[in-house]
């Protein structure tokens, strides 16, 4: 796909770069106060990367993720998503792009309570033009991807936290986006369950999904391929992950819990 860039200042788009952020600033204005949450962030993320973002509370991680996920727009700077300058698109266009390109997973699972795992996973397909049978099939295959086929008819209250997060991951993947964004996805989970989620992420990444994950735990970040550290609204470190463990192997060494 060829693309034309809105600005001469930007380097030419190459097919492998799915996310390119250039000189992004974000201010939050409320009343008399103004918070400068992002202070000139630039980064390129290529197809198939698995990035962990760390940093102290308040350093701008969630603000950054919301921009990447097209949930919010930068005050200034550029954001190219697969070569498309999305920083200044209107809300409706942005929502359409988000639905196709990005899956989002949060710390709280945000599942609908009176709705089965299968129906929760199916939700994002309702905005598209898919027929009912195809939607069901997509949702079932997304649940299979996270190892939850046998829980399709369960309600959230009948599932563990780890299982609920897996339903949320299935929901994020049901439209088959190329990018998965996860903001503290293991923040509410015990350490074994966290590694199980990382096993799923590593599997998905091996299949080609680009993943950007925020975590405050080194034990979780180590499963990524690249670690970025935010400080005071800026990227202060950006390094390949050293000695990256395989989550499946790590799980063999951890005591198992009753399901
Ligand atoms: P992190 O996720 O790293 O903890 P955030 O991106 O949530 O950091 O916050 C960065 C800064 O922006 C903080 O000072 C925070 O208080 C402020 N902030 C975040 N969201 C809002 C908002 N909706 N309105 C006003 N200020 C905000
Ligand atoms: Mg946050």
Spacing, Cα 57 to ligand 2 middle (Å): 7
Query: Is residue 258 included in any domain, yes or no?
Result: no
Strands (E), the chain: 17-30, 33-46, 50-55, 76-81, 84-85, 102-105, 179-183, 210-214, 226-231, 234-240
The number of the ligand nearest the C-alpha atom of 64 reads 1
**Chain position carrying tokens 């197809």:** 47
Query: Is residue 5 included in any domain, yes or no?
Result: no
Beta-bridge partner residues of 63 = none
Neighbours of 192 (CB within 10 A): 14
**pLDDT, tens digit, 9 for 90 and up, residues 111-158:** 999 999 999 999 999 887 889 999 999 999 999 999 999 999 999 999
Domain with 247 in it: 17-253
Determine whether 186 is exposed, middle or buried from the number of CB atoms within 10 Å of its CB (0-12, 13-18, 19+). buried
Query: Is residue 259 included in any domain, yes or no?
Result: no
pTM value? 0.92
Query: Is residue 60 included in any domain, yes or no?
Result: yes
Distance (Å) of CA 80 to CA 6, 44, 100, 123, 176 = 10, 9, 15, 27, 20
The pLDDT value recorded for residue 124 is 92
Query: Is residue 168 included in any domain, yes or no?
Result: yes
Indicate which residue's Cα is closest to atom 7 of ligand 1.
Answer: 62
Query: Is residue 150 included in any domain, yes or no?
Result: yes
Question: Is the pLDDT assigned to residue 109 strictly greater than 80?
Answer: yes
d(CA 184, CA 102): 16
Q: Where are the alpha helices (DSSP H) in 23-69?
A: 61-68
The pLDDT value recorded for residue 2 is 47
Residue 231, CB half-sphere, CA atoms under 13 Å: how many?
4
Query: Is residue 182 included in any domain, yes or no?
Result: yes
3-state SS, residue 213: strand
The pLDDT value recorded for residue 15 is 83
∠ CA 11-16-20 to the nearest 5 degrees? 45
Question: Is the pLDDT assigned to residue 108 strictly greater than 50?
Answer: yes
Question: Is the pLDDT assigned to residue 102 strictly greater than 50?
Answer: yes
For the chain, the domain total comes to: 1
d(CA 137, CA 199): 24
Q: Which letter does DSSP use for residue 190 in this model?
A: -
> Among 58, 66, 229, 233, which is best to mutate for testing ligand 1, by the most ligand atoms less than 8 A from CB?
58
The per-residue DSSP string of 67-123 comes to HHTTSS--SEEEEEETTEE-TT--HHHHHHHHHHHEEEE-SS----TTS-HHHHHHG
Decide which of 141 and 100 is more confident.
Answer: 141
pLDDT cut 90: percent of the chain above it: 79
d(CA 208, CA 17): 13
pLDDT cut 70: percent of the chain above it: 95
Question: Is the pLDDT assigned to residue 3 strictly greater than 50?
Answer: no
Decide which of 237 and 4 is more confident.
Answer: 237
- Ligand 1 neighbour 58 (Cβ under 6 A): yes
Spacing, Cα 146 to ligand 1 middle (Å): 31
Mean pLDDT of 42-71: 96
Query: Is residue 9 included in any domain, yes or no?
Result: no
- CATH number where 26 lies: 3.40.50.300
Decide which of 53 and 6 is more confident.
Answer: 53
Q: Which of 10-14, 94-98, 164-168 has the lowest mean pLDDT?
A: 10-14
Cα 158 off chain centre by: 25
């Amino acid at each position: 796909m060829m693309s034309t860039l809105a600005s001469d200042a930007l380097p030419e788009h190459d097919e492998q770069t799915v996310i390119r952020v250039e000189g992004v600033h974000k201010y939050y204005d409320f009343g008399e106060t103004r918070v400068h949450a992002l202070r000139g962030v630039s980064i390129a993320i290529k197809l198939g990367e698995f990035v962990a973002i760390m940093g102290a509370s308040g350093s701008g991680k969630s603000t950054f993720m919301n921009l990447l996920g097209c949930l919010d727009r930068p005050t200034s700077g550029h954001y190219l998503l697969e070569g498309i300058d999305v920083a200044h698109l209107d809300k409706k266009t942005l929502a359409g792009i988000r639905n196709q390109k990005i899956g989002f997973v949060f710390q709280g699972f945000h599942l609908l309570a009176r709705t089965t795992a299968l129906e929760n996973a199916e939700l994002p397909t309702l905005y598209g033009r898919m027929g009912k049978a195809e939607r069901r099939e997509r949702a079932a295959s997304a649940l299979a991807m996270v190892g939850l086929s046998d829980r399709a008819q369960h309600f959230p209250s009948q599932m563990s936290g780890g299982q609920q997060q897996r339903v949320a991951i299935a929901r994020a993947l049901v439209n088959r986006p190329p990018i998965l964004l996860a903001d503290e996805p293991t923040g509410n989970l015990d350490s074994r369950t966290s590694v199980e989620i990382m096993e799923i992420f590593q599997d998905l990444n091996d299949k080609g999904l680009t993943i950007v994950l925020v975590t405050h735990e080194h034990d979780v970040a180590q499963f990524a391929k690249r670690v970025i550290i935010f400080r005071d609204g800026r990227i202060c470190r950006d390094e390949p992950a050293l000695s990256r463990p395989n989550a499946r192997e790590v799980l063999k060494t951890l005591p198992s819990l009753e399901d």
